[in-house]
Amino acid sequence: MKKIVISVAVLLICVPVFAQDDVISKYFSSYLDDENFTKVSVTSRMFSLFTDIETGDEDEQEFLEAISKLKGLKVISGDSIEDGMSKYKDALNTVNGKGYDELMSVRDGNQNFEFMIKEKGGVITELLMIAGGKDQFHLMTLYGEIDLKKITKLASKMKIDALDHLRKLDRDDRHDDN
């Protein structure tokens, strides 16, 4: 009886821990079959293959260095959707209180950006970005050992809109589908 009680207690402790990890996966699964969104997933196995990519460009080298300790990423992106702001708020409510610390909130025109991190032992292990506007919604997560300085430095020289990169990705994705 004592063992059963202990086991149940362990189970109850484990449930929230697993639930935290599951928040993003659950969110991704709900958009998995929605064709209005571009879905991208790059696993740690693929990240390990990036080391084989040869590049002599200094910027590329800098980029490879920035992603060298990443273990994976997941993206859901939609820029022609209905009620993007509602989805943005819904996503914020979903991740709220699930172990994420707020890093930064940015409001740029009609776009809202929310950056959240998960930290373990002084190391950022996950970076989550939720962006939403009138007809846009983007959710991105990076896993692994994240160096924010290196990541922010990547686009510091560029003077193009942040989401232009994603639009390019979306166009490529649709082109591939066709």
Residues lying near another protein in the complex (CB under 8 A) = 3-4, 7-8, 10-11, 14-15, 18-19, 21-22, 25-26, 28-29, 32, 39-43, 45-47, 49-50, 52-53, 63, 66-67, 73-75, 104-106, 108, 113, 115, 127, 129, 131, 138, 140, 142, 148, 151-156, 158, 160-163, 165-166, 168-169, 172
Q: How far is the CB of 33 from another protein (least distance, A)?
A: 9
Beta bridge partners of 122: none
For residue 118, give the nearest of 87, 90, 97 by alpha carbon: 97
Instruction: Round to whole Å and give the CA distance between 176 and 174.
Output: 5
Helix (H) or strand (E) holding 112: strand 111-120
- How crowded is the C-beta side of 117, counted as CA atoms within 13 Å? 15
Whichever of 28 and 135 has its CB closer to another protein, that residue is: 28
- Phi, psi at residue 120, to the nearest 5°? -145, 115
Q: How far is the CB of 113 from another protein (least distance, A)?
A: 5
Q: How far is the CB of 174 from another protein (least distance, A)?
A: 13
